[in-house]
């Protein structure tokens, strides 16, 4: 296989969870451009359908379905159905997450449960269901989304950061369990990305600028900039990559502060 072909997804069936907006939408469209048949999955059926429509309008192949990742039976059924309908399921990408920014002492039980249910249980449901589909075939790639918050935090991020750190351990465990059957499992760790999840930050100029300045590029990422790292992990270019997290954070974790020493 030649180098350009390593990144091709021709004839692959790729399910993207969270394809209705943000990073998920960008990844779905990017996978289609690389030749994949993309199944757009989202809690919001209308936005998933809209993404599929845009892919087809650009001469790509796409279908869409509604999916609530907190419903384990539904996740199993949808991924099994996709595999049965298309005769294969080569890759699953899971992007959804929610955040409630509060100090630990102010967090309610309901808020804790909601963030954990979506971010950790939902991701677990997708990884488990994808494994159940892929293991009998002996091939496949699973990519889920963690965050820089798996390693560094700020006040108000206790539960979100905990779920993102837990996702890394989930990925490692799944890689160890699924690897002997030929299944790869990895995570993406974005920095700050312009998506609906971060709209409240963008709306506050001082907060927005502080995050931009933490990146060594002095800017936020676009959702499109998460496409390349994700497609790398589901492509043959990453055939020996599993159990890891690929940080796409603009150098956020590389630089430990905002202060530049005098004379530098």
Domain CATH for 89? 3.40.50.720
pLDDT number for residue 3? 67
Q: Within a domain: residue 100?
A: yes
pLDDT value at position 263? Answer: 60
Structure tokens at 204: 């506050």
Residue-number span of the structural domain to which 141 is assigned? 4-248
Residues with a catalytic annotation lie at 160
Q: Is residue 253 included in any domain, yes or no?
A: no
Whether residue 24 is contained in a domain is answered as yes
How many folded domains does the chain comprise? 1
What is residue 60's DSSP assignment?
Answer: -
Beta-carbon contacts of residue 208 (< 8 Å; ≥ 6 apart): 201, 202, 220
CA separation for the pair 61, 55 (Å, rounded): 7
Range 211-220 average pLDDT: 92
Residue 261 has pLDDT above 70, yes or no: no
In a domain, 258, yes or no: no
Looking at the domain assignment, is residue 17 inside a domain?
A: yes
Question: In the chain, what is the straight-line distance between the N-terminal and C-terminal CA atoms, in Å?
Answer: 46
pLDDT digits (tens, 9 = 90+) for 161-180: 999 999 999 999 999 999 99
Q: Do the beta carbons of residue 121 and residue 167 sit within 8 Å?
A: no
Q: CA–CA separation, 10 vs 47, rounded Å?
A: 25
Q: pLDDT digits over 9-38, tens only?
A: 999 999 999 999 999 999 999 999 999 999
More confident residue, 213 or 259: 213
What does the buried/exposed string (b/e) look like for 167-181 if buried means 16 or more CB atoms within 10 Å of the residue's CB?
bbebbbebbeebeee
- Report yes or no on 90 lying in a domain: yes
Q: Is the pLDDT of residue 190 over 90?
A: yes
More confident residue, 256 or 26: 26
Q: Is residue 67 part of a domain?
A: yes
Sign of CA dihedral 232, 165, 183, 136: negative
Cα–Cα distances (Å) from 28 to 85, 109, 120, 196, in that order, read 19, 34, 22, 17
The SS3 of residue 262 is coil
- C-alpha dist (Å) from residue 194 to 76, 191, 198, 222, 259: 31, 10, 6, 5, 24
User: Is 256 a member of any domain?
Assistant: no
d(CA 31, CA 208): 30
């Amino acid at each position: 296989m030649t180098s350009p072909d390593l990144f091709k997804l021709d004839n692959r069936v790729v399910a993207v969870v969270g394809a209705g907006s943000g990073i998920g939408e960008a990844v779905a469209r990017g996978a289609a451009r690389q030749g994949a048949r993309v199944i757009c999955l989202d809690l919001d059926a209308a936005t998933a359908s809209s993404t599929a429509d845009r892919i087809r309008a650009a001469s790509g192949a796409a279908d869409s379905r509604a999916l609530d990742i907190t419903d384990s039976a539904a996740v199993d059924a949808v991924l099994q159905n996709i595999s049965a309908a298309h005769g294969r399921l080569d890759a699953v990408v899971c992007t959804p997450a929610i955040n409630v920014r509060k100090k630990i002492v102010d967090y309610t039980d309901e808020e804790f449960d909601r963030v954990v249910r979506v971010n950790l249980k939902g991701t677990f449901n997708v990884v488990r269901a994808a494994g159940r589909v892929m293991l009998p075939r002996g091939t496949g790639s699973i990519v889920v989304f963690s965050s820089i918050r798996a390693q560094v935090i700020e006040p108000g991020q206790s539960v979100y950061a905990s779920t993102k750190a837990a996702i890394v351990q989930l990925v490692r465990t799944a890689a160890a369990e699924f690897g002997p059957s030929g299944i790869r499992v990895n995570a993406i760790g974005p920095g700050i990305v312009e998506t609906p999840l971060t709209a409240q930050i963008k709306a506050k100029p001082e907060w927005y600028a502080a995050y931009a300045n933490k990146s060594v590029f002095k800017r936020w990422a676009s959702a499109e900039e998460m496409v390349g790292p994700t497609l790398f992990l589901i492509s043959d270019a990453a055939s020996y990559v599993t159990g890891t997290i690929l940080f796409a954070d603009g150098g956020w974790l590389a630089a430990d502060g905002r202060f530049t020493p005098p004379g530098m």
